[in-house]
Structure formats: C-alpha cells, structure tokens
Amino acid sequence: MKNVRHVCWSLCVWEVYISRIIVRPHATVGNVYLTETNLVFFVQIGKVLAKFVRPDGTEEKEFVMDSQDGIVNVPPNVAFAMKNMDATDSVVVAFSDRPLNDHGDDKQYQVFS
C-alpha cells in the first residue's frame, strides 16, 4: 500500500453509515466540506490534529484529539481535515447519515495545505 494516505471501510446499519478510517503516519485526510451530510467522529487509536473552518471565513477551530477525547459533531457546510500526528497509523471512527464518499455532497476546500 505504497503512498496510500488512508484506508476507509464503511457499512450502513439502520440508515446510519459507520466508517473506520485508517490514517497513515503524518497524512492528512479531509480538506472537504459536506453540503448535506451530518457527521460525528472520534479518534479510536492515535492522535490527530483536527481543524474546522466555515468556508465563508467566519469561524475556525483547531485542536489535537486522541482516544481520550469525546465525539466531535461536524454539521453540513463546515470544512474539516485531520492530520495524523503519530509515526504510526491513527484510526478515526465516523458516523453519518449519508455515505462519506457521496461525491455529489462533498466540496473540496483547502483546510490544511
């Protein structure tokens, strides 16, 4: 799996999509906002730098998360990205009301460069 930044598995249970995302060391995932999808996630393993930005520029938040932290809610139209802070894989678990790879719903947005 050379040069793969992340691996994602998803399943749907009673109209809730559960995704397990393996983020490779020092990789960034996200840099996107979802126009209709409601998303919550937590870090199961490792440590990530999470950043959230309103695309209109009115608000920005950034913090480090690990498995001891709680669940974060990402409402529609908030751009987000996560950067793995560890030298080993980090694992993020997400719950959403639509599949995360619904390309009609996601809009690219540069949260981290």
In order of 3, 23, 64, 71, the CA distances from 61 in angstroms are: 29, 21, 11, 15
Question: Two tokens at 15?
Answer: 């109209």
Chain segment 13-48, per-residue pLDDT in tens: 788 888 888 999 999 988 988 898 899 999 999 999
In DSSP terms, 72 is beta-bridged to: 41
Q: Round the average pLDDT of the chain to a whole number and report it.
A: 86
Q: Is the pTM of this model over 0.95?
A: no
pLDDT for the residue 52: 94
Q: Give the residue extent of every domain in the chain.
A: 6-108
Sheet holding 47-53, edge to edge: 60-66, 47-53, 79-84, 28-34, 106-108
Of the CATH numbers 2.60.120.10, 2.60.40.10, 3.30.70.260, 3.40.50.620, which one belongs to the domain with range 6-108? 2.60.120.10
